[in-house]
Amino acid sequence: MAETRRLTLEALERLTHGVLAASGFDADHAEAIGRVINAAQRDACHSHGVYRLLGMASAVREGLARGDVAPEVIDHASAIVKVDARFGFSPLAFERGLPALIEKTRRQGIAAMAINRCFHFTALWPEVERIAAEGLVGIAMTPSHAWVAPHGGSRGLFGTNPLAFSWPRPHAEPYVFDFATSAIARGDIELHRRAGKPLEPGWAVDSAGRPTLDPQAALDGAMLSFGGHKGSALATMIELLAGPLIDDMTSLESQRFDHGRGAAPCHGELILTLDPQAFLGVSLEAAQTRAEALFAEIVAQGARLPSERRRAARRQAITEGAVEIPAALVEELEALRSGQG
């Protein structure tokens, strides 16, 4: 276990903002990014916490991404809002488009928000949680880079293509899931390689498309979708909906756009929102009771609701007023903040 450092939530916030300010992000972007990065760190989602600041800072430093552009919100159609992130990061674009998305959803019953030309480093669950806080159902998806082979294929084509969903609950935190359609995270393959550990079956194929347990062969080959041909079909759907449908790049195009810099996935994101009030009217409360019965039965069987581990970490962080972060990472971030990164 690596050495960790304990940061109060206030210190965490100061660190995040300091790094972003020193890296060329304006106050609006720093606020929006800080909210989701710190929420992930607080929820012990280390892969989407302050660690991501390193990639964000370097993407701006290298002139790939912009930290100081205002996203442009476009009222595109009765039930569609578009946000042009103008090669900035996704969190501010999401926040700027959200009021119009909520308004359209309440008026029409269902609506869509397309975020274009955004660099995407953050988890999707903070977005669908935010939507659930408005009493709406949220579905969010993005492509990434072409690391995942289609079922039966041999080369990377799909991204890890996450899908997130939220269902608002009147007297509880929303039902939320957020999963990659790849069998495993890219970083986990790298960790296995470093540890000299074999992969698990179903994670990857080598460059000839043969199943492999060898991490290096997997990195030279391609990852696989979860759930065989069904996961592969879902990944395809996400490529199409959060790519061509919204006039943005597929994972393969996004990877080519990156020109091998291995920096930042730049692409689009699609968010769908549905208003239970609009669908249900006076039946809303009965429907909520019906949904609660479903959750109660899942729990009664000893099965877990998604996000439970994350919420437990959140409660602990809030109770303690602090989080634990790998010491080396904190040092790296502190150096960035002081302009020595």
Q: Which residues are catalytic?
A: 47-48, 188
Binding residues for a second copy restricted to 3-32, rule: CB under 8 A: none
Binding residues for a second copy restricted to 218-247, rule: CB under 8 A: 226-234, 236-237, 239-241, 243-247
CA distance 159 to 138: 21
Cβ neighbours for 13, distance < 8 A, ≥ 6 positions apart: 34, 38
CA distance 323 to 318: 9
The residue among 167, 295, 153 whose CA lies nearest residue 231 is 153
Q: Is 208 a binder of a second copy (CB under 8 A)? A: no
Binding residues for a second copy restricted to 244-263, rule: CB under 8 A: 244-247, 249-250, 252-253
Closer Cβ to a second copy, 281 or 339, answer by number = 281
Binding residues for a second copy restricted to 96-135, rule: CB under 8 A: 107-112, 114
Longest CA–CA separation in the chain, Å: 59
Q: Is 144 a binder of a second copy (CB under 8 A)? A: no
Binding residues for a second copy restricted to 284-313, rule: CB under 8 A: 286-288, 290-291, 293-294, 297-298, 301-304, 306
**Cβ 284 to a second copy shortest distance, Å:** 9
CA distance 330 to 59: 19
Render the burial of 236-250: b for 16+ CB within 10 Å, e for the rest. Answer: bebbebbbeebebbb
Binding mask 153-192 for a second copy (x = CB under 8 A): xxx-x-------x-x-------x-x-x-x-----------
Q: Is 278 a binder of a second copy (CB under 8 A)? A: yes
CA distance 167 to 75: 26
Is residue 279 within 8 Å of residue 109, measured between CB atoms? yes
Closer Cβ to a second copy, 79 or 313, answer by number = 79
Q: Is 77 a binder of a second copy (CB under 8 A)? A: yes
